[in-house]
Structures are given as structure tokens and as C-alpha cells.
A and B are shown apart, each in its own frame.
Chain A
């Protein structure tokens, strides 16, 4: 089986990646500024709705009812889209989805495609697969364009270039776009430069590729929410539109959108409504593309669905509110997670989609959290991210053999703690462990303890154990 591209090839385990991210002062400044700004705005946008909690509960219930009957809804969606003139394809994994897009693009006579920002196509590594097949993918979302022109990787679900500040963006544009010698770092000017750069591409493109935010099973309506109008360009101008959609993106009925069109914009960009939302059902003669293809993608979703605790991650609507409130994300940035899905949701989604807890990088992700719970509080579909993290940590430990240092130390710990005498001896030994510490922290234990300190600093043991102190002062 092909490797699932949801994790980036060669990514180090999270602690290693985080260490270098933490050393980058510029990155931390950029992130602190941006996440701070959006946190305040979101709180304001959410506080404006008196029924926010009821909307969250409804969002959770709708998504859970979809997951519990996913086979039925998928077949219903296929039927509705087909009835409106669309063509539905099914792809078990990234390789199959990429091959379908490449074939369709070539059949349409295109050597380049314009793209709407889409997490799903980033997850499957579509751009690289198309390039290998001789088709160039042009990202048209401003942030995706910044990442693409900078030969960079995304670091946030909503704003993939959040790690770059305006000056860095100006430098990328000046290096890669024609006629930008006079470009300043004012955001309106940078947006204008992107507008000019992409205009001709939009007017001449034959094929567009998009993702989908929602698809309504009963009507066959597909929904894309966006801000810049690049989405509308891609969805309406080219002759052929190819939409790649994860199988969990379904809502049963049109009415269900009344919940998500309130939850998503306020959680995501912290607006009452995003500037543009497009809805289309199959093909409309005389308006928009003449050919519409919808690719329904599994790529690890069905194995995620099989996990009773972990399946709630499939409720995710990709708003990224959990990233913006996460103390770990704010300090390390998104690239440290080694996946297109970073932050708290990435820490539970990436390892599940990848489906291999023997992979050291994937197995390190559930530990990329302090379990503070802020992510659950802001999640518009109430994904209990901390509980799933703990559940996946257990999976990660189980994936190692029971003879692994971590498993052995856990077993040894329970033996030590079972007898008071053994426990006292152990505590005296631990106090001696202070010799290993500097500034109150132990950064490197000798083997097998090194397996523990590889991913965490260990606070130095106290000079005196509590029981020794009690005996000395009160005994």
C-alpha cells in the first residue's frame, strides 16, 4: 500500500520539530500576534449569538447522525448529484484520488488547473501528483499562493501562511512575481499584487479543482465557503470542475446548513459571515462549468470511523478555532506537526488518518498537548479533543512492545508504588537524582530513562520527599 501523504515524508517526531520551532523568535512573534488577534475576534463573534451552545449541540448531533449512517448518506448523495448532471467517483486512498484528477484534467485537455484552497487536496498531495503527471496546479487562495511561491509548507488550516509576516510575504512576491519592484508590505498592496498575478489564469483556465465544506445528501448541493472570490472564479469560470471531498463532509438535508453556516464563519474567520459562499447542485446549463466531477475520498476515514472514541474527529468542519487557542500551537506553529492538519485537531486527526501508530512521528502527535481543554471549549462541533488525545496516547504506548522502556517503567512504577517500603527507598533514590538536574529540570536521563526525556523535560525531584519532610517536622 502507498504511504498516506497526510504526514509529510521525513517529518521528525513532534518534540524534535518543536525544539527548532521554539528557537525561531520571528515565528513565535508572528504566531503570537496572529492567534491573539483572531482569538479576541472570535470571542466577540460568538458572544453575539445567544443560542451558540444550542447551535453547537445541533452541529454535533447532525454530524454524529451522518457518521452513524454514512453508507446510506453517501449513496444518497451520489444519486442526487448524478440526477443533477454531475459524475461521482470513489477513491479509497490518496493515490486513487490523485489518479482520477490527473486523468480528468488530461481528458479536458488541460496542462494547468486552478485550485480553490482545499485541505483535502493538500492532504492527498494532489499538487505533487499532478506535477509528476505533467499538469501544473496553481493555488489561487492568497495564503496558499504565498506558501506555493515560497516553496514552503502550510502551518495553519485557515491561514496556511500565518507563520509569515507582511514583510516576508512582500519578499516572496518580489522574488516570484513579475513587475513587483515597487511593492511595499502594506496588506492591500500585497492583495492587489495577487489579484493581478492570477487574473489571466482565471480567465483562461479550462479546469478547476476544489474541495467541499459541505455536501447535502438529499439535494446534491455542494458548498464552498471562502473570502477572496478566488473560489467563485474557480467554481464558475472553467468548463470542468473537479471537487475532491472527504466522505465525512455530508449533511443530510438542506436545513442542516442553517446550523453550519452560523457555526463555521464565526469559529473560523470570526466573522458574522464569510464574504462568499457558493452552492451548486450538479450542472446548471448556461451558468458555470459544463462538467462537474465529485470525488468521494476515504484515505483513512473509514479506519478512523471504526474507533469508537476517535471517530468524533470526523465531525471536524476545519474551522481552525482549536489552533488559535492552543498554547502548544501558539508556541511551535503548525509545521512542527509535520502534517497539513496541525494543532489540536491535527494531533488527533493526523495519526488516525495515517493509521500507523508504529510510525514514530504519528505516535508523537497525541503528546503535542498540555490537555488544557481550550480546544474542546471552542470547537463548534464539540469534539472532545483532550479525551481523544489520551485515548490515542494509550494506542501509541500499546503499539510499542510491552518490553519497551516506557511500558517497562510503567510496570515497574506500579510494583514500586504497591509497597510503602519500596516506595520510600525509591523516593530517596529519586532525591539523589537531583544531581542530574540544572535549573530545576532534568533534560537527559540515562537509558532507559532517556526514552522519557527524549520528549519531555523532567522536573528535578524535590530536595526532600513530602513524607521525609513530614517525619522531620511533625514526626
Chain B
């Protein structure tokens, strides 16, 4: 109802008749912090969520060793060298059932946040649409060293808010039973992260 918009705005203006001051937002918190090594910290914090972390020199070699014989979903634009032959690669277009019945998904990423052990996907190069990294039960995610920043503010600065973003911190989890954390509910139950370069 168009009237409801007018009514809500009218109520707000009436409620603010005392003209409360608009405070100045002091950003005196630390937008960056110096860490001995953001890459070490990232690896350690991702692993804290019980994700599996590897530092590799060759992504294709790792893929071949780990995924041989599996049916793995890949976004359209992953580097050609990742597509090693002993793996059955599933390319788009894929239905939700295809995704659900695959053995896993391989993607790149947009940003890594060391302090919180978070990977951000922005549907950009080598990442595909959001459902790809959601329905398969296993997610192998490649993060390049230069994509890793120290803090949350540094990460948001690198991201485009108009893209669909997914922040991933470990495998899916729940604290709903007695507030005790259990890994693995609806999202991928295994998250494996490759740090490269």
C-alpha cells in the first residue's frame, strides 16, 4: 500500500520531533593490524574451524592426487591447468540435482581474511554462481596468497557490494544443540582450502 510508506515516514518524523543529534562516527578502532604473517594466520584460523588447510606450490598436482576418480563441479572460468584428466569435471549448466549428486566442487575465491579465517566468494572469476559452492558436500577452495588480507575492514574495502557475496568461515556448523558447536549441517560438510603462491 502506497499509503503505508507515507504513514511510516510521517510517524518517523513525528517521533523525531525532538531532533536528536546525529553523532559523529569515530572510527578509532583499528582498521588494519600488523600481523607477523597474514598467510600463516589465515592458515591457522581457517584450520581452527576444522577446515583442512594445505599450502601448495602446484594446484594441479594436488587436485590430481586428491580428486582422481571423483565427479567434481567447476565454474566455467577456472584455470585450464586445474582440469586434470583423472577427474570427471561437471560443467554448467547444472541442475540442483546435478549439484546435489556430485562428489564436490572446486572454486577459486575473491578475498581471504586472516584474522577471522574467512574466505569470501564474489561470483567472480573461477567461482561461479552461489549454488555451486553450496549444494555439493565437499568444497575445495583455492586462495592465492595475494588475496589474503589481515582484517575485516581491509576485506570489505576490496569487495564490490553489488556482487552477490558469500563469506565462508569453515564448514557449515550449528550451535543449536546445547550451544555446543557441531560441524556439518546443510552446506558442504568438508571444506578444504589450498593456499598457493
- In order of increasing CB-CB distance, the 9 nearest A-B pairs are A229-B187, A302-B11, A229-B186, A306-B15, A228-B185, A277-B167, A54-B29, A143-B176, A273-B116
Bound-complex Cα distance A221 to B159 (A) = 12
Contact of B169 (CB < 8 Å), options: A35, A219, A273: A273
Min Cβ gap B31→A in Å is 7
Interface residues of chain B, those whose CB is within 8 Å of chain A, are: 1, 4-5, 7-9, 11-18, 20-31, 33, 45, 48-49, 96-97, 100, 113, 115-118, 123, 129-131, 134, 152-153, 156-157, 161-188
Quick one: CB contact mask for A48-80 with B, threshold 8 Å, 1 for yes? Answer: 001100110110111011011111001100100
Q: Which of B21, B168, B186 has the most CB of A within 10 A?
A: B186
By a CB distance below 8 angstroms, the chain B residues around A303 are: 11, 15
By a CB distance below 8 angstroms, the chain B residues around A390 are: none
Contact of A191 (CB < 8 Å), options: B131, B182, B188: B182
By a CB distance below 8 angstroms, the chain A residues around B4 are: 90-92, 96
By a CB distance below 8 angstroms, the chain B residues around A70 are: 12, 16
Binding-face segment, A14-22, A284-292, A417-425, A445-453: A284-292
Contact of A187 (CB < 8 Å), options: B21, B162, B177: B177
By a CB distance below 8 angstroms, the chain B residues around A308 are: 18, 20
Cβ B186 vs Cβ A202 within 8 A: yes
By a CB distance below 8 angstroms, the chain B residues around A159 are: 175-176, 179
Nearest B residue (CB) for A230: B186
In the assembled complex, A110 has its CB within 8 A of some CB on chain B: no
In the assembled complex, A276 has its CB within 8 A of some CB on chain B: yes
By a CB distance below 8 angstroms, the chain B residues around A191 are: 174, 177, 182, 184-185
Bound-complex Cα distance A194 to B113 (A) = 30
17 further A-B pairs in the complex, CB-CB below 8 A; given A158-B175, A287-B131: A37-B179, A38-B175, A58-B27, A71-B9, A161-B177, A187-B178, A191-B182, A192-B184, A203-B96, A203-B100, A228-B172, A228-B185, A237-B131, A256-B25, A275-B171, A276-B167, A302-B14
Cβ A305 vs Cβ B16 within 8 A: yes
Cβ B178 vs Cβ A30 within 8 A: yes
Q: Which of B15, B49, B129, B153 has the most CB of A within 10 A?
A: B15
Cβ B1 vs Cβ A90 within 8 A: yes
Cβ A269 vs Cβ B8 within 8 A: no
30 contacts between A and B (CB under 8 A): A33-B178, A61-B24, A65-B22, A71-B9, A71-B16, A96-B1, A140-B186, A142-B174, A143-B176, A146-B176, A161-B177, A187-B178, A195-B186, A227-B174, A228-B173, A228-B176, A228-B187, A254-B161, A257-B156, A258-B31, A258-B153, A262-B152, A272-B48, A272-B115, A275-B187, A276-B169, A278-B165, A288-B131, A302-B15, A305-B16
By a CB distance below 8 angstroms, the chain B residues around A257 are: 156
By a CB distance below 8 angstroms, the chain B residues around A92 are: 4, 7-8
By a CB distance below 8 angstroms, the chain B residues around A256 are: 25
Bound-complex Cα distance A110 to B100 (A) = 23
Bound-complex Cα distance A113 to B176 (A) = 22
Bound-complex Cα distance A188 to B31 (A) = 37
Bound-complex Cα distance A216 to B30 (A) = 22
Given the known A-B contacts A92-B4, A142-B185, are A255 and B156 also in contact in the complex, defined by CB atoms under 8 Å? Answer: yes
Min Cβ gap B67→A in Å is 22
Contact of A259 (CB < 8 Å), options: B16, B29, B113: B29
Q: In the complex, which residues 229-283 of chain A have their Cβ closer than 8 Å to any Cβ of chain B?
A: 229-230, 232-233, 235-237, 247, 254-259, 261-262, 265, 269, 271-281
Bound-complex Cα distance A137 to B104 (A) = 30
By a CB distance below 8 angstroms, the chain A residues around B184 are: 188, 191-192, 195
